[in-house]
């Protein structure tokens, strides 16, 4: 399982002119599930995503997680990551 994350101030996914997912501040993650991946691997990836400290604290250091800032998590399927 592969995940490519980007910290965002806002993000959305539009399909055929309709917004199907939207978040404010948080993480947008391109996710690729490969053959043989398990639910356990998905849980591990989620735990990592929620724990990455990529948001600034009061001193401006990247020391806060998406959970700490009560941010959103937008998961976008992207099978080409496995190519």
Q: Which residues are catalytic?
A: 78-80
In angstroms, the Cα distances linking 1 to 8, 21, 36, 63, 75 are: 22, 21, 9, 25, 13
Write out the two tokens for 48.
Answer: 């990592």
**CB-based contact 7:54 (threshold 8 Å):** yes
CA atoms of 44 and 41, how far apart (whole Å):
5
């Amino acid at each position: 399982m592969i995940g490519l994350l980007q910290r965002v101030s806002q993000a959305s996914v539009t399909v055929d002119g309709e917004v199907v997912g939207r978040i404010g501040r948080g993480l947008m993650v391109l996710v690729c599930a490969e053959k043989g991946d398990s639910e356990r691997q998905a849980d591990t990836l989620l735990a990592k995503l929620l724990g990455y400290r990529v948001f600034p604290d009061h001193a401006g250091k990247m020391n806060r997680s998406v959970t700490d800032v009560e941010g959103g998590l937008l998961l976008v399927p992207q099978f080409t990551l496995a190519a």
